[in-house]
Structure 1
């Protein structure tokens, strides 16, 4: 990763609106259970997503952190909010540090299961006791052999089954799909949040019979696009590039890509709290973060990481100025309803 990305800039910090009821069980007990069966020491346990994510983290974050501090990193996967909550309640810790999306972060803070973080490693890093690390985007991907003149350029065109006929796929995840349904129905990005939930479901009704696969895992989304099982897909940008790098005849657009942020958090009451906080600060420092996001296909949220990111690498990142200008950010604090109730409604709708 040689050379600076000259056009990189800082993404705007998320606002602190009144917390919505962010869904899921709220673990509001005083958490007075005796802490830990696992002895502390120079070992830190990190909850990871496994696979390519973990491999990139080991190479660019975990190994350099051990070299710098002498603290050994061991991993537990996959990422689990339920385990985070359970271990804090019981005092038996499987891991000290994990990453959460914005919705889970709000739940974790409300449930008092993460440590308070007051030191911002860089300007704008802190959000509800999470430290912003990296970003990814849900984008439109399509098969070039199905659409040789180009695929959909926005979600309204993705919904247009006459102009773009073919099998479709979306993620079985309402927090990501409902905003896309509203964009398809003509809602401007600036007026998207709070979401009009009923209108979003009405929009989904129009496309439902054309959704061949409601994908539930990133690897699955890559496979069905790469192998031509579907012609159009809403897919994470990194998973799209996996299909492209494998030689599949695929195309995509950044237009109306939906950006989400990932945050490092520290488990409440972990006996390794000091090493955990040191790790989080290290993990979002410029050079380790740049290496991680480049290999794992994310975008860095610490702008200093751009000093170690080449212009070519930045072209694949949702945080580069050229791509970011065409995207929008999910606003989980202003979602428009109780996520737990909406998720239940969505599952019933998919099954119905």
Structure 2
């Protein structure tokens, strides 16, 4: 079976494909927030459970990843260690970057505003936007692709970045002065899903089964430092490899999990509000 990769992908592209019948891709991964939106909009083909407990709202559980604080260790020898630090432009002056994705950014804004990790959900949407108002002028890039986030941090375009942990390690490989913290990292789960009416629907589901099988998923997660969601994968992961994963117990204890089913508002409406806020 020939596999071709397409990047970047997005919810908007998935929706456009299903609407027009012109397909750029058959399979993609989505975070929980976009997965729920896609399921509600009828954009997904039903698929079989790939392993016990591996199906969530039409998506096959693939891997866990985390949004962490990455920063220039030459400029900031000690910290930042919390999202309140990230928001503190006097203590940590410099250009910042965050992802252009409200389901991921609003919880971080609430942490910066003093909400405890175990009290985040349901999100206080208005309070989160008020916190974002305080940092907006200091966010010079709202990144939209993982490669973009690692590049701007590695190249010094920004001093602090809310970045996926795997992309941080990618940036650090070429810039060893970069540092990060697992503290208050946001854990999320990525799910493989098949586009509705995909012209390669059967092949797409076969790919999902392969990609989430224990050994294949372990190899993928080792390469990208993700945490595999298939429990059977861990037999193929060494302890040293696991320490770079957000699901490693010592790392996991410092993080929180995104709770998209208890989000606190309509995700589509919040996304629209976020885009209007950015443009204002």
The residue that corresponds to 1:143 in the other structure is 72
Deviation (angstroms), 1:83: 4.3
What is the Cα-based RMSD across aligned positions, in Å? Answer: 2.1
Residues 100 and 143 of structure 2 are in contact (CA less than 8 Å); yes or no, is this contact kept in structure 1?
yes
Q: Secondary structure at the match of 2:3?
A: strand
Given that 1:301 and 1:319 are in contact with CA atoms closer than 8 Å, whether structure 2 keeps it comes out as no
Residue number in structure 2 paired with 1:292: 220
| Aligned position for 1:221 | 149
Structure 1 equivalent of residue 175 of structure 2: 247
* Deviation at residue 76 of structure 1 after TM alignment: 4.1
Counterpart of 2:196 (choices 252, 263, 268) is: 268
Cα distance, 1:251 vs structure 2: 0.9
Q: Contact 2:37 / 2:268 at 8 angstroms: preserved in 1? A: no
- Which SS does the other structure have where 2:216 is aligned? helix
Deviations 1:9-54 (A, max 9, x none): xxxxxxxxxxxxxxxxxxxxxxxxxxxxxxxxxxxxxxxxxxxxxx
CA separation in 2, counterparts of 1:286 and 1:144?
37
Find the counterpart in structure 1 of residue 115 from structure 2. Answer: 187
**Secondary structure, in 3 states, of the residue corresponding to 1:152?**
coil
Give 1:77 deviation, angstroms: 4.1
Q: Does 1:116 align with 2:23?
A: no
Q: What is the SS of the residue equivalent to 1:194? A: coil
Are residues 1:127 and 2:56 paired?
Answer: yes
Q: How many residues align?
A: 280
Select between 260-269 and 89-98 the one with higher mean Cα deviation. Answer: 89-98
Correspondence for 1:279 among 203, 207, 210: 207
Distance in 2 of aligned mates of 1:136 and 1:297 = 8
- Cα offset, 1:212, TM superposition: 2.9
Report deviation, 1:260: 1.6
Which stretches in structure 1 are left out of the alignment for 5+ residues? Answer: 1-70
The structure-2 alpha-carbon separation of the partners of 1:242 and 1:272, relative to structure 1 and needing over 3 Å to count, comes to closer
Residues in 1 aligned to 2:142 and 2:16: alpha-carbon distance in whole angstroms: 29
Residue equivalent to 1:34: none
Structure 2 CA distance for partners of 1:338 and 1:285, relative to 1, 3 Å: same
State the distance in 2 between where 1:104 and 1:318 align.
21
Please report the TM-score for the alignment, with normalisation by the length of structure 2.
0.91
User: Aligned partners of 1:115, 1:77: CA distance in 2, in Å?
Assistant: 21
Asked whether 1:258 is paired with 2:186, we answer yes
Larger deviation: 267-276 or 277-286? 267-276
Do the aligned partners of residues 247 and 270 (structure 1) sit closer, same or farther apart at CA in structure 2, a change above 3 Å counting?
closer
Give the secondary-structure state (helix, strand or coil) at the position aligned to 1:177. Answer: helix
Q: Do 1:112 and 1:268's aligned partners in 2 also have CA atoms closer than 8 Å?
A: yes
Query: CA separation in 2, counterparts of 1:90 and 1:223?
Result: 34
3-state DSSP of counterpart to 1:73: coil
CA radius of gyration, larger in: 1
Give the whole-Å Cα distance in 2 for the aligned partners of 1:172 and 1:94. 23
Consecutive unaligned residues in structure 2, runs of 5 or more:
none
Aligned partners of 1:287 and 1:258: how far apart in 2? 26
Partner of 1:305: 233
SS where residue 72 of structure 1 aligns?
A: coil
